[in-house]
Structure formats: structure tokens, C-alpha cells
């Protein structure tokens, strides 16, 4: 029977990845198309990609596929041939990472989801068949020069914070499902203007463009292939990049540099910085921006409390974090949550004092 799931520990897999001598190419792609049996589709894809030593994260749903993967360079052609053998994916655009060390993923995970993008849309009349018009890098730059053009960033605050298009409007919400109705409401006075929507790889802004059209907007565009494809096209064609800073990506790199501009600040000291990291304390793992100096001073942690816990013996750390559900912790100003771990830090401090630790 073919193996359809990983059976090796995450730590061992990451160790094996960094021991590899062959470079890997990081690729992202998506496609909205009807999938009759997502479970069967998922299992068949897992078997094929496992043989090609593909790592990454892939979601399958009745509405299509969403994937971020890495492929050994020697298997890229074989991977493309396999993918294009699937009729609905034949000729699909593949977004190749622009700033890539090949260490983005270390395990293959393919999951069946209700949707490839959680959107909260319940209207049965909504359809992805009616979506905004694609624009490439050159067209994007041209539209950005027109006064009647409005640019909307359909990403989260922590993505927008480190890089975005010039004059792009941020939709101040933590989730895509909340952003969709907010975008409609914020743009209700601009239904006749050119509205360009963009995101990391295209999947969110494509659905957002369809939602805007569904709600009566007329001139809606979305950036083909998102920021990743825009950056590659701009580089290949010698175009000025209107995207400034860093593009946040959802893999172990946590970002790929588009321009040398640093537009964000360290969340601890306020110095210019755009390096995202996860707090080293396993009971926290807050995603935040940290400069090199603060990384050294706080041992890669987000606070003194977390640094204290991080430097305790491992068994004591495990005991302290029992029963704590950290979830997805993000330093996010969109809801003025400047320290999402504050309650946890109080709990750590209380427990530490009870055990004689400071």
C-alpha cells in the first residue's frame, strides 16, 4: 500500500532538508476549478509528488487547489509534466520565488479543506466565473499612474507592514473573510473608479475581485500571480518596482525581498527592521518583527517574560505551558493588539514565581 502521509518527525525532516546538497526551487500556484472528489484527488497527488521528493503545503477543495511547495531542481521538469497532465491544470502559471534559498519547506502536507480560501461567502449566487480582469506588471504600473485608480491590498496587516504597493489601501482586518465585506463598504463611493486588488500570489485577490463584481462594482482588476509574479516580471522586463519593501511569504523564509527599502520597524525598539520571526519560547511563538540587536538581547524572544521561560530547563518549560493554547499569535496593529501574549506572560510570571524562578 502506498504511503499517503509523512511518518517522520518534523525535527528529523528539517535536519534532513538542511543536509541536502541539491538546491530546491520554491513554487506557488493555485487554480479555481471544480473537483468532484477532493479526497481521491488529494491521495493521487500525494503519491505522485512523494516520488518527486516535493515538500510543501497544498490544500484541495471542491473549488480547486492552492499550493506552496519546493521541488529539487532536477525534478522541476518532471513535476511540471505531472501537473500539466491534469487537464484542469494544463498550462497553469507557476509562481517561482524571487528570493529563494531552497529551504522553504521540509515535509509534504496535502489537506482537504472546505475551501482553498476561507471567505465566509454564503450567497449561493456568488460565482468565481465572473471575476476581475488580470493585469500584468506593465499594466499595473500604467494603472498606478492614473488618478482614478484605487489599489487595495487584500493581505493581513503583518504582510502589509513590511511591504506594499505605493498608495495601496490596507483593509484593517485580521482575516480574509472579514476583509471582503469591509472592502465593499470602504469602496462604496468609488464604484466607477478603476479598482486593482492584489495579494501575495493571486488567490485571495482573484476571489476578492469576483466578490466586488458580485456587489455591483464595474472596473475591477486583480494582479495576475500577485506580488510574486509582479516582482519576477518587473525584474525580467526592467520595470521600476512600484511594490516597495519585502513580500511576506507563508513558508520558513517568512519573506522575500523585492526592493532594498525597509519600511517597517522593530516591534521592540522601533528601529527600522523588516525581519519576521517567531518567538523562541515554545509556549508563545508570537510572529513579530525583530531587529538583530533585539534578537541578541532577548534571545529571539518577544519579551523579558518569554526570555525567562525560554532559558529555563526544558522540563520546566513543558510544565509551564501545559494547558495553554497559543493558537496563531500575531503582533497586529490592525486591532491595536500590541502584545497578544500579555495574558500568557502574566501566567508565566505567576507560575515562575510560584516555583521560585524569576
Which amino acids are annotated catalytic? 199
On the question of pLDDT at 261 being above 60, the answer is yes
pLDDT exceeding 90 applies to what percent of the chain? 61
Domains assigned to the chain: 10-112 (3.30.70.100), 133-237 (3.40.250.10), 276-354 (no CATH)
Residue 112 · residue 61 · CB < 8 Å: yes
Is the four-CA dihedral 207, 119, 232, 143 of positive or negative sign? positive
Spatial CB neighbours of 184, under 8 Å, sequence gap ≥ 6: 211, 212, 215, 217
- Residue 339: which pLDDT band, with cuts at 50, 70 and 90? very low
Question: Residue 209: which H helix or E strand, with range?
Answer: helix 203-214
Q: For the chain, how far is it from start to end, CA to CA, in angstroms?
A: 53
pTM above 0.85, yes or no: no
- For residues 36-55, give the mean pLDDT: 95
- Mean pLDDT score across all residues of the chain: 85
pLDDT at 345: 42
Q: Which of 9-13, 106-110, 293-297, 320-324 has the lowest mean pLDDT?
A: 9-13
pLDDT tens digits, residue range 168-193? 999 988 789 999 999 999 999 998 88
pLDDT at 334: 42
Helix, strand, coil proportions of the chain in percent (round to 5)? Answer: 35, 20, 45
Residue 106 · residue 16 · CB < 8 Å: yes
pLDDT tens digits, residue range 210-257? 999 999 998 999 999 999 999 999 999 999 999 999 999 877 788 889
Residue 169 · residue 118 · CB < 8 Å: no
pLDDT at 341: 40
205-to-132, 153, 237 alpha-carbon distances in Å: 9, 8, 23
Q: DSSP letters along 267-324, please?
A: TTT--B---EEE-S-TTT--EEE--HHHHHHTTT-SSHHHHHHHTS-HHHHHHHTTT-
pLDDT tens digits, residue range 118-164? 899 988 899 888 999 999 999 999 999 998 899 999 998 889 999 99
Amino acid at each position: 500500500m502506498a504511503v499517503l502521509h509523512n511518518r517522520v518527525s518534523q525535527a528529523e525532516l528539517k535536519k534532513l532538508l538542511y543536509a541536502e546538497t541539491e538546491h530546491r526551487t520554491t513554487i506557488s500556484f493555485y487554480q479555481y476549478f471544480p473537483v468532484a472528489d477532493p479526497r481521491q484527488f488529494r491521495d493521487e497527488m500525494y503519491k505522485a509528488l512523494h516520488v518527486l521528493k516535493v515538500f510543501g503545503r497544498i490544500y484541495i477543495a471542491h473549488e480547486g487547489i492552492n499550493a506552496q511547495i519546493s521541488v529539487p531542481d532536477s525534478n522541476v521538469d518532471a513535476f511540471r509534466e505531472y501537473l500539466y497532465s491534469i487537464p484542469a491544470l494544463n498550462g497553469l502559471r507557476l509562481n517561482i520565488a524571487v528570493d529563494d534559498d531552497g529551504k522553504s519547506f521540509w515535509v509534504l502536507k496535502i489537506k482537504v479543506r472546505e475551501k482553498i480560501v476561507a471567505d465566509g461567502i454564503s450567497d449561493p449566487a456568488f460565482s468565481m466565473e465572473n471575476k476581475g480582469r488580470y493585469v500584468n506588471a506593465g499594466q499595473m504600473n500604467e494603472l498606478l499612474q492614473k488618478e482614478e485608480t484605487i489599489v487595495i491590498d487584500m493581505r493581513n496587516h503583518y504582510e502589509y507592514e513590511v511591504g506594499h504597493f505605493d498608495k495601496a489601501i490596507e483593509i484593517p482586518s485580521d482575516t480574509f473573510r472579514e476583509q471582503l465585506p469591509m472592502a465593499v463598504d470602504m469602496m462604496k463611493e468609488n464604484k466607477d473608479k478603476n479598482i486593482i486588488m492584489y495579494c501575495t500570489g493571486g488567490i485571495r485577490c482573484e476571489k476578492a475581485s469576483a466578490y466586488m463584481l458580485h456587489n455591483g462594482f464595474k472596473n475591477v482588476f486583480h494582479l495576475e500571480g500577485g506580488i510574486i509574479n509582479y516582482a519576477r516580471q518587473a525584474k525580467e522586463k526592467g520595470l521600476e518596482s512600484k511594490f516597495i519593501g519585502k513580500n511576506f511569504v507563508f513558508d520558513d523564509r517568512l519573506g522575500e525581498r523585492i526592493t532594498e527599502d525597509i519600511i517597517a520597524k522593530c516591534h521592540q525598539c522601533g528601529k527600522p527592521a523588516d525581519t519576521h520571526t517567531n518567538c523562541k519560547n515554545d509556549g508563545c511563538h508570537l510572529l513579530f518583527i525583530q531587529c538583530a540587536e533585539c534578537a541578541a538581547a532577548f534571545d529571539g524572544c518577544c519579551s523579558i517574560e518569554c526570555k525567562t521561560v525560554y532559558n529555563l530547563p526544558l522540563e520546566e518549560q513543558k510544565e509551564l505551558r501545559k494547558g495553554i493554547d497559543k493558537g496563531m499569535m500575531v503582533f497586529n496593529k490592525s486591532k491595536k493588539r500590541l502584545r497578544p501574549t500579555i495574558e500568557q506572560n502574566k501566567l508565566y510570571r505567576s507560575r515562575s514565581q510560584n516555583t521560585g524562578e524569576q
